[in-house]
Amino acid sequence: MKSVQIKSHVGKDGILRLQVPVDISDQEMEVLLVLQPVDQKTADMPESSGWPPDFFKITAGAFKDNPLKRDAQGEYEIRESIK
């Protein structure tokens, strides 16, 4: 069994159209569909994407006193051009 979670939009006609890639072909499938309206107030909050509450407030500026530094990247080899 494979669970797939997607968000989609119901059109003004009241029809929900789904296209779900399943990586399976030429087989009978049983599909369970659970309809749950999205709360627009919380849909765009970081927590809805799996981030802990206040994660960005807590971590913003965490490296200001000790900034990350990128080491030298070295020399790149010169390659033949593709014709």
User: Which tens digits make up the pLDDT trace of 2-39?
Assistant: 777 888 888 899 998 888 878 888 988 888 888 888 77
Look at residue 46 and tell me if it is in a domain.
yes
State how many domains the chain has: 1
Question: Does 44 map to a domain?
Answer: yes
pLDDT confidence tier of residue 71, bands split at 50, 70 and 90: very high
- pLDDT mean across residues, the chain: 82
Q: Which residues pair with 10 in a beta bridge?
A: 16
> Of 1, 39, 4, 2, which is closest to residue 18 (Cα–Cα)?
4
Q: The domain containing residue 15 runs over which residues?
A: 1-61
Flag whether pLDDT at 64 surpasses 80: yes
Q: Which two tokens stand for residue 34?
A: 């659970």
pTM of the model: 0.36
In-domain check, residue 47: yes
- Quick check: is 7 in a domain? yes
Decide if pLDDT at 73 tops 70: yes
- Whether 36 is covered by a domain: the verdict is yes
Classify residue 77: in a domain, yes or no: no
Q: Is the pLDDT of residue 41 over 70?
A: no
Does residue 40 lie within any of the structural domains? Answer: yes
pLDDT over threshold 70, residue 44:
no
C-alpha pair distances (Å), 66 with each of 46, 54, 61: 26, 22, 10
Q: d(Cα 29, Cα 18) in Å, to the nearest integer?
A: 15
HSE of 14 in the Cβ direction (CA atoms, 13 Å)?
A: 0
